[in-house]
Amino acid sequence: MTTSQTFPGPAAEIGVIGGSGFYSLLDDAEEFRVDTPYGAPSDPVAVGELNGRRVAFIPRHGRDHRFPPHAIPYRANLWALRALGVRQVLAPSAVGSLVAEHGPGTLAVPDQLVDRTSGRAQTYYETGAAIHVPFSDPYCSTGRRAAVDAARVTGWDPVDGGTLVVIEGPRFSTRAESRWFAGQGWTLVGMTGHPEAVLARELALCYTPLCLVTDLDAGVDTGEGVTMAEVLEVFHANVGRLRALVGDVVTRLPDERPCACPNVLDGMKLPLELP
């Protein structure tokens, strides 16, 4: 494996951001250390081939899980992927379920997001111009369809749709909070899906979540509540299956993007130059 500071052209077309327990993806990969205006990404970006496609991989928390959810360099991660040529992003993550019937081991591909974080930098356009990106549908419709279809073919029947509420963390929810989230009709709870999704939209990237349910959230389950050990145990038991699914989705993503994502910045005068 080699490292590099520069790259003469697009190095990858698809990006994967791995969640808790998902620290590697590619064999025989080349590592790129990408400098960004927002500091270094969570780790050097690994680039290699996966099912005939050029893929870039970043472990969201770092390979040693050193970044808690509120401290992940989200802006650097997405900027680095775009700088390497990535235009479509798959985002596996561990989540809790707010619905009793969707227990541990369930795969969900939500279609909506609610932000309950605080204090995280969540835009590239802080000064110089008022840039308002459309976000009514936060995830790529083409990517979601590819993910759902790929899962069904493998026999991992996914939950197609639902709402992911993203909390600040790093603590888990209280029972009262969990019951409140469920009472709003939200179905999943996690800590990392925002600002990741909106930053991808601000860079005109396609972004598709792949949510692995690791636990029933505190207000759904009558047990002792969620623990980190429980989350990692379920994730580790399913990470091989999740890696295989990522490869299957990669093969289904189109070469040319037919969705609205590439055009979200059309007509806007940006205050910075995108990579």
> Could you tell me which residues are annotated as the binding site?
20, 60-61, 93-94, 191-192, 215-217
Cis bond leading into 41, ω under 30°? no
Residues in binding site for phosphate: 20, 60-61, 93-94, 192
DSSP code of residue 28: S
Which residue out of 43, 115, 215, 248 is catalytically annotated? 215
Is 27 noted as a catalytic residue in this protein? no
Give the integer Cα–Cα distance in Å for 274 and 7. Answer: 16
Is 23 in a helix, a strand, or coil?
coil
Is 115 noted as a catalytic residue in this protein? no
Cis bond leading into 195, ω under 30°? yes
Give the integer Cα–Cα distance in Å for 98 and 213. Answer: 10
- C-alpha pair distances (Å), 42 with each of 65, 165, 234: 9, 23, 23
Give the integer Cα–Cα distance in Å for 134 and 193. Answer: 17
Phi/psi class of residue 62: alpha, beta or left (left: φ > 0; alpha: ψ in -120 to 50)? left
Which residue out of 157, 217, 221, 255 is catalytically annotated? 217
Length of the chain: 275
What residues pair up with 93 in beta bridges, in sequence order?
211
CA angle 120, 71, 80 (to 5 degrees): 90
Residues in binding site for substrate: 191, 215-217
Residues tagged active-site: 215, 217
